Amino acid sequence: MILRFQLSFHAFQKGAFLRGSALLRFHAYQRPKLLSLEVLTNRGIRMKRITLWAFALAALAACQSKKEDIPPTLAGLIEEVRLAYAPDKRVAIFQVDAEAEGGQWLLTTETNLPEALQALEEGIKSAGLPARIQARLLPDSSLEGNIYGVVQLSACNIRSEPRHSAELATQAMLGAPLRVYRKSDGWYLVQTPDGYLGWLDDGGFTLMDEAGFARWKSAQKAVYLPDMGFAYAAPSPGAAVVSDLLAGNILEWQDGADGYARVAFPDGRTAYIPESALMRYDAWLASRQPDASHIIQTAYTFMGRPYLWGGTSGKGVDCSGFTKTAFFLNGLQLPRDASQQVHVGQPVETDTTLANLQAGDLLFFGRKATDEAPQKITHVAIYLGDGKIIHASGSVKVESMRRGDPTFTEYRLQSFVCARRMLSGIGENGVIPVAEALSYQ
């Protein structure tokens, strides 16, 4: 019998144990007491779905025989460590599989946080619990030191699981550095500069050891400026295309002549780009003006582009990918998701009258907290002023939150939760200059 405690906002997000020929999985959703129990055959066919309202530990105890109960003290310790070191599974790895073994519990633990592992070990020892840990500390040793990577496509697709049919979790742009944690059948568990975790196939990036990554970091870089374009095999617009390019792509600058720059991709490919379409990385950083007018100007260049769940590039964006990209192109890095962005910047006291809002503020939508349920953020937009927002919803568009305006949307007004100001105190409260986030030089 195996119990799984997997990193989530609440306990036991993807727990699993075997009983007979059925596989039982527990999922915790936004509400900490809501559990969904799915019973499947060994072929994975769903037989029954039940929603239970109970505490996670009580639900587990109810579904196991008494002699197989995981001690509440041990379960509580695992959850305590998770909440202290890895409360958000999107940016940290802390997974514990608990298996009854010879009168004690074997805790097979995988994490990228040495301090979390140490806390779990010390907690078990201090409480005298009947458990031992079998740990895999990431990055995995099987990578043989190749624990870095750099994105080699204009925008690579990072997925929630190691397969092409899995959910698109996020994207990363050409030149973005990655931390690599482990490999599974040609897929790699990677972490982007904003801390987001996901699976990337080996065609999306160049795997590097420490020396190779240091060389890439120290090389001169250039940033691509137009919204979209191409890199060519020769210094001529009629030459063969080497790759497409997007605004914000970063390449290695080698030399330039006759109006073209020769650049290199992380995987060693070389190409030519009109010099007018590039800016040296240091100059690009120095030229960023992260104020409301520039961010809004950038946001308008995305008008009409399609909504894409998981998208964070000029090829398609979701709501938070849109806000993140608009800020990135102006030299600021935000967290990936709306439910993460709402925790950075400075809070703005406001309500549905939109009082106190300033252009460039981020507005968050969803469900306000009640006595029965916590706050839930599901959408984000950039405030333009005069009651108008620009956001990705179906496509990137402008709508109004003021009744009487032609583009008024009642739904957004009613689902408005709160606002945050990202442009006050840059470098504090989770709003990070790109220069500090990417660390190329």
Domains of the chain: 2-138 (no CATH), 142-216 (2.30.30.40), 219-286 (2.30.30.40), 292-434 (3.90.1720.10)
C-beta separation of 249 from 224 below 8 A? yes
pLDDT, residue 69, reads 78
Summarize pLDDT for 91-121 with one digit per residue, the tens. Answer: 999 999 999 998 899 999 999 999 999 999 9
C-beta separation of 338 from 380 below 8 A? yes
Report strand pairing: 104-111 vs 131-137.
parallel
Report strand pairing: 346-348 vs 416-421.
antiparallel
Question: CA nearest 261: which of 210, 225, 311?
Answer: 225
C-beta separation of 356 from 431 below 8 A? no
Query: In which residue are the tokens 């990417």 written?
Result: 438
Residue 121 has which token pair? 């070990």
Q: Which one-letter DSSP state was computed for residue 140?
A: P
Identify the three-state secondary structure at position 389.
Answer: strand
**Per-residue confidence at 64, pLDDT binned at 50, 70, 90?**
very low
Percent of the chain at pLDDT > 70 equals 84
- In angstroms, the CA 435 to CA 190 distance is 21
Identify the three-state secondary structure at position 61.
Answer: helix
Q: Residue range 375-383: average pLDDT?
A: 98
- What number of other Cβ atoms are within 10 A of residue 155's Cβ? 23
- In angstroms, the CA 148 to CA 208 distance is 5
Residue 403 has which token pair? 């009744």
pLDDT, residue 192, reads 97
Summarize pLDDT for 300-348 with one digit per residue, the tens. Answer: 999 999 999 999 999 999 999 999 999 999 999 999 999 999 999 999 9
pLDDT, residue 44, reads 38
* Measured CA angle at 288 (ends 151, 222), to 5 deg: 40
pLDDT, residue 440, reads 61
N- to C-terminal Cα separation, the chain = 50
Residue 321 has which token pair? 């990918």
213 vs 38, more confident: 213
Report strand pairing: 270-274 vs 278-280.
unpaired
Question: CA nearest 310: which of 151, 171, 144?
Answer: 171
- In angstroms, the CA 328 to CA 59 distance is 44
**Whether residue 72 has pLDDT greater than 90:** yes
Residue 424 has which token pair? 């006050």
C-beta separation of 384 from 399 below 8 A? no
**Crossing angle for the helix pair 292-300 and 319-328, to the nearest 10 degrees:** 120
**Whether residue 427 has pLDDT greater than 50:** yes
**Per-residue confidence at 38, pLDDT binned at 50, 70, 90?**
very low
- Provide the annotated active-site residues: 319, 379, 391
- In angstroms, the CA 272 to CA 241 distance is 9
Q: Which helix (H) or strand (E) holds 198?
A: strand 197-201
Supply the mean pLDDT for the chain: 88
**Whether residue 67 has pLDDT greater than 60:** no
104 vs 10, more confident: 104
- In angstroms, the CA 28 to CA 97 distance is 16
**Per-residue confidence at 437, pLDDT binned at 50, 70, 90?**
confident
